[in-house]
Amino acid sequence: MSANRAGNVRMQVAPAGPLRGELLVPGDKSISHRAVMLGAIATGRSRISGFLAGEDTLATMRAFQQMGVRIDRREDTALEIHGVGRDGLRAAHGPLDLGNSGTSARLLSGLLAGQAFDSEIIGDASLMQRPMGRVVDPLRLMGAELSCTAAGTLPLKIRGGARLHGVEFALPVASAQVKSALLLAGLYAEGDTCVMEPAPTRDHTERMLRMFGVEVRSGDGRICVNRQPLCATDIQVPADISSAAFFLVAASIVPGSDLVLKGVGINPTRAAVIDILRAMGAQIEIHSSGAPASEPVADLRVRYSPLTGIHIPRDLVPIAIDEFPAILVAAACADGITVLTGAAELRVKESDRIAAMAAGLHALGITAEPAADGMSVTGGVFRRGTVDSAGDHRIAMAFAVAGCRASGQVQITDCANVNTSFPGFAGCLRAVGGNISEQQV
């Protein structure tokens, strides 16, 4: 059992009346990870506001502290990072334990490949089973010396002192994590490192590298960097659209609901959840903040509306991959059938999310037919029941949303890992009218 899941949590959700009010969900997890990583290897002091103080991002922060970076927490969501420069990291005393965070493990593998010292990356029981070959293989093409298990999983051992050289690498599958790992390694490599994407993925790494003064060349699905220093800067982390997605769905399916989600990041490589829900009939208004920033931000107003099943466009799948647990709950409340294809990546997340969602939907009386790369969901009525979240934070929160529209109480087990991305989730749901309680087990 992983450390994160020891002393576990069970959530109980009863049908709710209308969800109403304003809500600020926690900061974006992807951006928080990258802000810490780049701030640590920049020269000078960076200030990060809106930082997500979740278990995943705190694992990233602790890893850099182990490598000699001073990071001061001014508030729960405000950091000052005293960067040591691109070549200033020091060897940690022991393995870097990244808990449940696949983003940390994969991005750090690229960054550490260019260091002068040896490193080892480990994680909790879930992370130790997740595939790392997708980053190990292309990093080896750059000259990195890495080893993992025969199954391509952690622990990952990285030998320091390797002379990296740039490569041109075409991603076989769209993956922001692999792209980012190679771009971070490219900061330490001789020559250009160029990554070609088969489809757009979240571009937070490219945007943030530019904020730290790095020249990034991009166009036509090709992103290139070379060996460059980074200069400290200040980062404002927007509210996480992946966290907001649960409330976009909740307000869409609970009659009478009217919610405003404040300051949400609507980066076009992340906002496909809005397009998908709107295609199903959701009433979502985007009120742009108008403030200039590297990441677009807006207030989102969502009101209840009857939904209709759709065939989810395949081109939107890579840029909504983390939101599908929530989207599939919306599909279960829609009239007709919703079909998801092209989402095989869901099989290798914190859980097999296709299997976990299908099992949970079945447990609540919904017809769901899983496939290798997606599923079809026939809209119906959630009945009372118990769902195993498989220790996956997004599965747990998705079925908490389902409980708001169920005919009776829904119990979700193995929920401790909600804190990896959304500490205080239950409190936020209660604050807007949700009927949810938590119990330590």
Q: What's the whole-number mean pLDDT along residues 8-29?
A: 96
The whole-number pLDDT of residue 257 equals 98
Pairing of strands 9-14, 410-413: antiparallel
User: What is the CA angle 28-32-34, rounded to 5?
Assistant: 125
Query: Within 13 A of 143's CA, how many CA atoms are on the CB side?
Result: 17
Residue, of 408 and 5, whose pLDDT is higher: 408
Burial of 75 (0-12, 13-18, 19+ CB in 10 A): exposed
SS3 track for 348-413: HCCCCHHHHHHHHHHHCCCEEEEECCEEEEECCCCCCEEEECCCCHHHHHHHHHHHCCCCCCEEEE
Which is catalytic among the residues 203, 322, 388, 414? 322
Q: Which strand (E) or helix (H) includes residue 305?
A: none
Spatial contact of 315 and 199, defined as CB atoms under 8 Å apart: yes
Q: What is the pTM of this model?
A: 0.95
The whole-number pLDDT of residue 16 equals 85
The whole-number pLDDT of residue 5 equals 43
Domains belonging to the chain, first-starting first, are 9-27+238-440 (3.65.10.10), 29-236 (3.65.10.10)
pLDDT per position as a tens digit, 323-382: 999 999 999 999 999 999 999 999 999 999 999 999 999 999 999 999 999 999 999 999
CA dist., res. 402 & res. 307, Å (int): 14
Order of strands, edge to edge, in the sheet holding 297-303?
20-23, 258-265, 297-303, 283-288
Query: Within 13 A of 350's CA, how many CA atoms are on the CB side?
Result: 29
Using a pLDDT cut of 70, give the percent of the chain over it: 98
pLDDT per position as a tens digit, 150-188: 999 999 999 999 999 999 999 999 899 999 999 999 999
CA dist., res. 405 & res. 433, Å (int): 12
Spatial contact of 327 and 307, defined as CB atoms under 8 Å apart: no
342 Rama class: left (phi>0) / alpha (psi -120 to 50) / beta: left
The whole-number pLDDT of residue 288 equals 82
* CA distances for 333 relative to 11, 241, 259, 274, 378, angstroms: 21, 21, 18, 17, 8
CA dist., res. 345 & res. 259, Å (int): 31
pLDDT per position as a tens digit, 232-280: 999 999 999 999 999 999 999 999 999 999 999 999 999 999 999 999 9
Nearest to 48 by CA among 310, 294, 334, 332: 294
At 6, is the pLDDT very low, low, confident or very high (cuts 50, 70, 90)? very low
- SS3 (DSSP) at 77: coil
Q: Provide the mean pLDDT of the chain.
A: 96
Using a pLDDT cut of 90, give the percent of the chain over it: 95
CA dist., res. 304 & res. 113, Å (int): 49
Amino acid letter at 91? A
Query: Taking 60 as the threshold, does the pLDDT of residue 2 lie above it?
Result: no
Spatial contact of 204 and 178, defined as CB atoms under 8 Å apart: no
* Residue 248 neighbours by CB under 8 Å, 6+ apart: 261, 273, 274, 277, 282, 284, 300, 302, 326
Backbone phi, psi, residue 177, to 5°: -70, -45
Spatial contact of 368 and 376, defined as CB atoms under 8 Å apart: yes
pLDDT per position as a tens digit, 267-282: 999 999 999 999 999 9
DSSP states along 223-288: EEE-S---B--EEEPPBPHHHHHHHHHHHHHSTT-EEEEEEEE--TTTTHHHHHHHHTT-EEEEEE
Per the structure block, which two tokens stand in for 230?
């980074």
Q: Is 28 a catalytic residue?
A: no
Spatial contact of 294 and 203, defined as CB atoms under 8 Å apart: no
Q: Which strand (E) or helix (H) includes residue 55?
A: helix 55-66
Query: Taking 80 as the threshold, does the pLDDT of residue 7 lie above it?
Result: no
CA dist., res. 63 & res. 59, Å (int): 6
The whole-number pLDDT of residue 4 equals 41
pLDDT per position as a tens digit, 195-219: 999 999 999 999 999 999 999 999 9
